[in-house]
Chain A
C-alpha cells in the first residue's frame, strides 16, 4: 500500500489545523453559515436530515487494517456505533457533531486519511477495481496510476472549482468491476499489439438525471502522458462546461452537445500544447509509487486444495470467493447485505473485526467496493474455512455476492437531504422477499440497485433491475427500470411504466424475476434475457391485473 511521505502528511495536517480554526470561528459566530458551508463541504462535512454527515475518502477503495480499525473507532467515539460504506468506495458517518469534526479529521490524519475531495465541484476521490493487484484476469495493477491520480488531483488549483463535481475511475483488467464507463472519465489500462501498455480514455459518462455511457476519446495514451491527457480533458471541460445551469454542467453534457469527435479534436489540440509544457510527473515518481504496490510475500507452496464438506462454507466459497492470480490464494468478498439489513452498513465491532482478519489473513489489506461490500484481497485458501467461521459469527458471511440480495442502495430519505423517497426499506423488503438463498442462486447474477432520487447515488440506471424513488405530491413512489448494466457491456435501464408504492415495487420486482425464470435460455443472466426478449413480456406481467398506484 502507498504510505504518505512528509509532503502528504504535512498537507493533511495543515488541512486539519485550518479546518479546526474555521470551525472555531463558526462556533464563535465570527463567520456566517453562508461563509462556512463551502469550507465544511471542502472537508466532506454535510448537513443531512438528522445531523452533520462526514464522508471520509478511501482512495481507490484501499485500506490497511490500521486505517480500517480507526474507521471502527471513529464510529464508536464520535458517531453511533456504525458507518455506511458508499458507492464511491468511501465511508459516511451519519451522526457527527460539528464541534467533533476537527478531532475526527485529526484522528483520520494520524492513519494517513482525510475527508478531502468528497464534496464540492472538484475532482472527487478516484475509484478503482476492488480486485486490483489480485485478480487473475488483471493486465496491469491500476493502483499506482490511481495513486498518481490522487496526488495530481488533490488541491489541483486549476480544477478546484469546476462547473460540477468530477469522478474518475481507473481499471487494469478486461473485466470492468468499477462501472468505469459511467464516470466522467474512465481509464482502462490496455495492451496494444506490440505489447505496450497504454491508457484508453472514456470521457463523458455518468448517471444522475441524464445518464450517459462514455464514448472512447483517447484510444491509447502512453501511461507517462496520462496526466497530460487528463489535463487536456479537464481543461476543455473547464473552459466550455456549463456554469449557468447545474443540471447541464457535467462533462457528459458538453461531450454530448458538441459531439465526441469535436470534443476529441479539442482535447488533442490541448494535449499537444500541454506536452510542450513538461507537466508530466517524472517517470521516477511513478516508479517510486509502484514500489508501494509490490506483490506481497505469497507462500509459493500454498495449496489450492479446499475441504468443502461443510455445505454452508461451500456455498459461500462458490458465491463470494474469487480467483486470485497467485496459486493457493483467493479473493474474499465480505457481503454487507444480510437478509433484511441496511446495504453498506457495518457496526464498529464488525469494522474492527474485518480489520483484524485483514491483518491476520490478507497481508494487512482491505478494499471497499462500489457495491458497498468489503474485500480481503489476498487470503490463503488454507485459511478460508477459519476466516469464514469468524465472519459467520459476526453476521458477515452472507453468501449472496452479485445475487438479488446483494442490493446497492443509497441512504435515501431516511438520512439524505436531497432524497425524495426512502431506499433502505425497499431494499430490506426485497431482501426479505428473496431471503431464501436457493432461490437467489436459481436467479443467478442479478444486480439490483436503488436510488432515492434522480442523483442516482444508488446507481439505479446500471441495475439489471433498477429502482428510482420519486416524490409524487408528497408521497413516495418507485419507478422500476430494467436492463441496466455496468461493465464491458454497459447499458442503461429503461423505465417499465407507471410507478408503485413500497409494497407494489417489491411485487413488481418479483414478477420481473418470474418472467426471467420462465423465458431464460441456457446460461442467460437476467439482463441477457431482457436484452433478447425486450420489455414487452416483463411489462405485461408486471402490470397485468394490477392497477399501479401511479
Chain B
C-alpha cells in the first residue's frame, strides 16, 4: 500500500509541471505584461511614470529576463506561497483567494457526498425493481437532469424563487453573517444556503451515477453467486446490500478523478449565476479585467485541487479494491 502511494505521488509530478506550464501560458497570453496594465492604470489616473522607475520595476519583477527564467521564478514564488500581485484589487493574490478556495472545496465535497447519498439508494431501487413505474419516472428524471446544464438550472431556480416565492436564493450567507468572523452560527447559516448550489451542481451527476449504478447492479444481479446466495435462503435485503451493491458502487470511487474537475467547473459557473463568494465570480472578473496573475493562480490552484483529489481517490480505490493494490505491488 505504501509503495503504491509513493508511486502514485511520483506520477503526479510531471502532471503538475505540465499544469503549471499551461497556467503560465494563460497568464502570458494577453498582449502586454502586468507592468503595461500598471502603467496604463497610472496614466489613466493622471500620473506620469518616468522611464527609470519603469526600468527598476521591470528589474524587480524580473520582466527583463528571458521567458523561461520568468517561468521558473513564477513557479518558485508559487511554491513559496507568493502568488503575485492583483492589480485590480491592489492586493497580494494570496489574500484574495484563501476563503474563496475554501468555500469551493466545501461545496465540491458536499456535492460529492450529496450525489452519492441520493444516487446509491435510487440506483439500487431502480435496478431491483426494474421496469416498475418508479423506475421509469426516475429514468425520465435522469435524462432531464443530465440534459439541463447546471447554470441554466440555477437561472431557472433563481427566477422561480424570486418571482413566485419572493426570496433571493443567491449568496452563501445571510447579510448579517457575510462579513462576520467565523462562528458556530455562521457555519449554521452557511449550511442553510449551501444546499441550493449543492443540489444544482449535483443534479446532473446524480442522474449520471444513478444510471451507472443501475446498469452495474443489473449485470451483477444476473451472476451465479447471487443465485447461489438466494438458493441458500439469504434474506433478499441482506443478499443485495451485502454483495452485488458493493461491487456496483465501485465506479463511484474510481470516477472521482474525472468527477472532480466537472464539479469544480460546474461550481465555477453556477457561482457566477448565484453570486456565491467562491472562486468562480472572482476568476471571471479577473479575466474580464485581464488581471492575469489572479486568474492564472486560480486556474493553477483549481487544477492542483483536482490532481490532489484524483490522488486521494486512487488511494481510496486501492484501499477498497485489493486487486489494484496487489496489481501495483506486482508492477513494482
- Interaction A to B: no
